[in-house]
A and B are shown apart, each in its own frame.
Chain A
Amino acid sequence: MNRFLTTVAAFATIAAGTSAVAEISDDVVKIGILNDQSGVYADFGGKGSYEAAKMAVEDFGGNVSGAPVEVVTADHQNKADIASNIARQWYDTEQVDAIMELTTSSVALAVQALSDDMNKITVTTGAATTELTGAQCVPNGFHWAYDTHALAVGTGGALVEQGGKKWYFLTADYAFGYSLEEQTGKFAESKGGEVVGSVRHPLATNDYSSFLLQAQASGADVIGLANAGQDTQNAIKQAAEFGIVQSGQRLAALLFTLSEVHGLGLEAAQGLSLTESFYWDRTDETRAFGERFMERTGSMPNMVHAATYSAVTQYLKAIEAAGTDATEEVSAKMHEMPVDDLFANGASVGKNGRLYTDVYLMEVKSPEESEGPFDYYNVLATIPGEEAFISEADSGCSLVSN
């Protein structure tokens, strides 16, 4: 009898012990950071995003609702099939609860759709396509940071107001380049600007001098670079060589972040206009974050890194508020709760999963203006989230009308 009682008591103790985390599946919250860590976008997001996610977990205390939080990471090599395989394996055998970052649009769309099938949460911070919260939106997929529309509004719209009326585009010859060119051109025109010409160059072109000469001859005020990564870097570097900025034309990089400016150096990048949703040297809070990030990675964060920090924080807050890590409940809380942190100020999440946060039009400082490492930007304009991103109603997301 005595033995029976002890056994019952023992079981009761075990049950009581686990009840604290009973609502957390597998007794652990696991977040996967999936992005490019070896290819052209390795500095754009890469290991920096993994570090930002770990910082968010540490700042949250390392636990949520009594369960430990872990961050795992993998390199998807910019291939949608590799990314899908990793995501499936994470969900099936490694108890991963949510996947974030997802640089490269093709990867983000594939993993978001897969996660929808498996009823998991994704937060994209590294990819640009508006489709994620448009025609291909899903109930538990979120899009933080930026998208092609915000870049177009920031650089296309706001730059016209700064006097850049006539535009000439240097466009990468694939879907991403076309959509950037089209959207930016549209905003430039809506503000009274004009597109005077464009030239399409193959992806991964080494030499832009030929295209730059054509752009120079066009008499445009602004040369819009509708490309990414190394293509943009080489174009900017060679524009400096051909004296394009010095002769009065303005260069606008449509997708370019602090990491790429750092790689290029101010000598070549000065005077460049670009749009980001984060700059480390904006408030005391962003500066403190920037310095901590710098200590861990040797580099200041760009918008992708800061957005990943913000996304992880919002996810953990939502779990705490819901008291469970069950997808529907957490997702509902993530939609419901405003986002107010070092990345986004009083921002809200739409039914389509879009985070409506401010974006900034930046101008890269000259080497003389810059007071130290990573002192790179002058903020020219702040574009409110509602203007920067497509409204819920116009997004084309089927979840909004319901």
Chain B
Amino acid sequence: MSFAIFGIPIQAFLGQLLIGLINGSFYALLSLGLAVIFGLLRVINFAHGALYMLGAFAALLLSVYLGLGYWPALLLAPLVVGLTGALVERSMLSRLYGLDPLYGLLFTFGLALVIEGTFRYFFGASGQPYPQPSLLSGGVNLGFMYLPIYRGWVIVASFIVCMAVWLLIEKTKLGSYLRAATEDPILVQSFGVNVPLLLTLTYALGAGLAGFAGVLAAPIYQVSPLMGSNLIIIVFAVVVVGGMGSILGAIVTGYLLGIAEGLTKVFYPEASNIVIFVIMAIVLVLRPAGLFGKDV
């Protein structure tokens, strides 16, 4: 093949582009949840990685104890995690709304440590395997790479869910209530809208998205108590690059940074875990509000 980009054969280049897109799918799902929670609740949700881990474990436990397979888990596990999120928000997080955002950050960070520690105690650090659904096992040869079908499914599922959430918040009546409630909660309350309930639903939605990403990740990564802590920092960088609170920004940036990271793994693998932070630093210098953020 004479065709090459920066000395990399075109096949390898396309393969890495696709792999970047797959990782970007996870970043998009997770950063979307973070952006929703931050945008509407002004809470910096450090428990997001732990909620993602809970999603994966929920799928695993549903399969071990109830014999439920991947497809029911894909629906049930996000519900379980969303419900957990709602309980956390109602019982604890909602008490911190009037305070400095730092309290929310510290609370969710502590919560993440407690959840991860508890799971480590019961399930050990090396985690458990979760099988691929048989419908999606195997792979197809795309000519430039061997694509496991499951990875293709991750891209599709993540894209559909991201778009659905974006439409829900930007285009529906419920979404407009949500956005209005963050602008002026007292006014919205006076129109007879139950604002505390809206906020609980928002946190549950963010948590459910993390849980969904966790179920999607379970057949690819080892389901372990620490799986979320590796990811959470990267996802925060994605949100910052996209613009804190920008829903569409979080989605688009998630995919873009996944691709940037994938390509770095070919050109200079050692830098692949910092490239996102380098981009974040550059963006913060040039556009402090983020790529899609509104200038403050």
Point out the residue from A38, A200, A211, A234 that lies within 8 Å of B221, measured CB to CB: A234
CB contacts under 8 Å to A, within B80-138, are 117, 120, 124-129, 131-132
Indicate if the CB atoms of A241 and B150 lie closer than 8 Å.
yes
Chain A's closest residue to B124 (CB) is A43
List A contacts of B230 (CB < 8 A). 204, 206
Interface size on B, residues (CB 8 A): 39
Residues A213 and B16 in contact in the complex (CB < 8 Å), given A200-B270, A229-B126, A230-B126: yes
Q: Is B188 an interface residue (CB 8 A)?
A: no
Residues A211 and B126 in contact in the complex (CB < 8 Å), given A40-B226, A237-B222, A241-B220: no
Point out the residue from B125, B127, B224, B270 that lies within 8 Å of A38, measured CB to CB: B125
Q: Is B72 an interface residue (CB 8 A)?
A: no
Indicate if the CB atoms of B266 and A234 lie closer than 8 Å.
no
CB contacts under 8 Å to B, within A201-244, are 201-202, 204-207, 209-211, 213-214, 216-217, 229-230, 233-234, 237-238, 241-243
Indicate if the CB atoms of A207 and B126 lie closer than 8 Å.
no
Kindly specify which of A23-31, A262-270, A369-377, A379-387 makes contact with the partner chain: A262-270
List B contacts of A200 (CB < 8 A). 269-270
Point out the residue from B19, B125, B129, B148 that lies within 8 Å of A268, measured CB to CB: B129
List A contacts of B262 (CB < 8 A). 210
Residues A201 and B269 in contact in the complex (CB < 8 Å), given A242-B139, A243-B139, A263-B222: yes
Query: In angstroms, how far is the closest chain A Cβ from the Cβ of B70?
Result: 15
Q: Is A51 an interface residue (CB 8 A)?
A: no
Indicate if the CB atoms of B222 and A230 lie closer than 8 Å.
yes
Query: Max chain A CB contacts within 10 Å: which of B126, B148, B226, B274?
Result: B126
Cα A213 to Cα B127 in complex, Å, equals 25
CB contacts under 8 Å to B, within A31-60, are 38-44, 46
Cα A207 to Cα B221 in complex, Å, equals 8
Residues A217 and B12 in contact in the complex (CB < 8 Å), given A205-B272, A207-B19, A260-B126: yes
Point out the residue from A38, A213, A262 that lies within 8 Å of B117, measured CB to CB: A38
Q: Is B246 an interface residue (CB 8 A)?
A: no
List B contacts of A267 (CB < 8 A). 129, 131
CB contacts under 8 Å to A, within B209-234, are 220-222, 224, 226-227, 230-231
Indicate if the CB atoms of A202 and B270 lie closer than 8 Å.
yes
Q: Is B289 an interface residue (CB 8 A)?
A: no
Point out the residue from A205, A207, A230, A268 that lies within 8 Å of B226, measured CB to CB: A230
Query: In angstroms, how far is the closest chain A Cβ from the Cβ of B64?
Result: 13
Q: Is A199 an interface residue (CB 8 A)?
A: yes
List B contacts of A217 (CB < 8 A). 12
Query: In angstroms, how far is the closest chain A Cβ from the Cβ of B186?
Result: 43
Q: Is B273 an interface residue (CB 8 A)?
A: yes
Indicate if the CB atoms of B220 and A237 lie closer than 8 Å.
yes
CB contacts under 8 Å to B, within A241-282, are 241-243, 259-260, 262-265, 267-268
List B contacts of A213 (CB < 8 A). 12, 15-16, 19, 145
Cα A264 to Cα B126 in complex, Å, equals 8
Cα A168 to Cα B95 in complex, Å, equals 55
Cα A12 to Cα B266 in complex, Å, equals 80
Query: In angstroms, how far is the closest chain A Cβ from the Cβ of B279?
Result: 16
List B contacts of A262 (CB < 8 A). 126
Cα A25 to Cα B278 in complex, Å, equals 58
Q: Is A341 an interface residue (CB 8 A)?
A: no
List A contacts of B222 (CB < 8 A). 230, 233-234, 237, 263-264
Query: Max chain A CB contacts within 10 Å: which of B22, B120, B132, B273?
Result: B273
Indicate if the CB atoms of B231 and A206 lie closer than 8 Å.
yes
Residues A209 and B22 in contact in the complex (CB < 8 Å), given A43-B124, A233-B127, A268-B129: yes
Indicate if the CB atoms of B126 and A233 lie closer than 8 Å.
yes
Indicate if the CB atoms of B220 and A263 lie closer than 8 Å.
no
Chain B's closest residue to A241 (CB) is B148
Cα A201 to Cα B230 in complex, Å, equals 14
Residues A205 and B273 in contact in the complex (CB < 8 Å), given A38-B125, A39-B125, A230-B127: yes
Chain B's closest residue to A199 (CB) is B269
List B contacts of A173 (CB < 8 A). 269-270
Cα A230 to Cα B265 in complex, Å, equals 19
Indicate if the CB atoms of B124 and A206 lie closer than 8 Å.
no
List B contacts of A39 (CB < 8 A). 125
Q: Is B23 an interface residue (CB 8 A)?
A: yes
Q: Is B146 an interface residue (CB 8 A)?
A: yes
List B contacts of A205 (CB < 8 A). 272-273
Indicate if the CB atoms of B120 and A42 lie closer than 8 Å.
yes
List B contacts of A44 (CB < 8 A). 126
Cα A217 to Cα B12 in complex, Å, equals 9
Indicate if the CB atoms of B226 and A238 lie closer than 8 Å.
no
List A contacts of B148 (CB < 8 A). 241-243
Residues A42 and B272 in contact in the complex (CB < 8 Å), given A213-B19, A243-B146: no
Indicate if the CB atoms of A43 and B125 lie closer than 8 Å.
yes
Chain A's closest residue to B234 (CB) is A206
Indicate if the CB atoms of B269 and A211 lie closer than 8 Å.
yes
Query: In angstroms, how far is the closest chain A Cβ from the Cβ of B62?
Result: 18
14 contacts between A and B (CB under 8 A): A39-B125, A43-B126, A200-B269, A202-B272, A204-B230, A213-B16, A230-B224, A241-B150, A241-B151, A242-B139, A263-B126, A263-B128, A263-B129, A263-B222
B interface list, Cβ under 8 A from A: 12, 15-16, 19-20, 22-23, 117, 120, 124-129, 131-132, 139, 145-146, 148, 150-151, 220-222, 224, 226-227, 230-231, 262, 265-266, 269-270, 272-274
Counting from the closest, the 10 A-B pairs by CB-CB distance are A263-B126, A202-B273, A265-B129, A210-B265, A42-B125, A43-B126, A233-B222, A241-B148, A43-B124, A209-B19
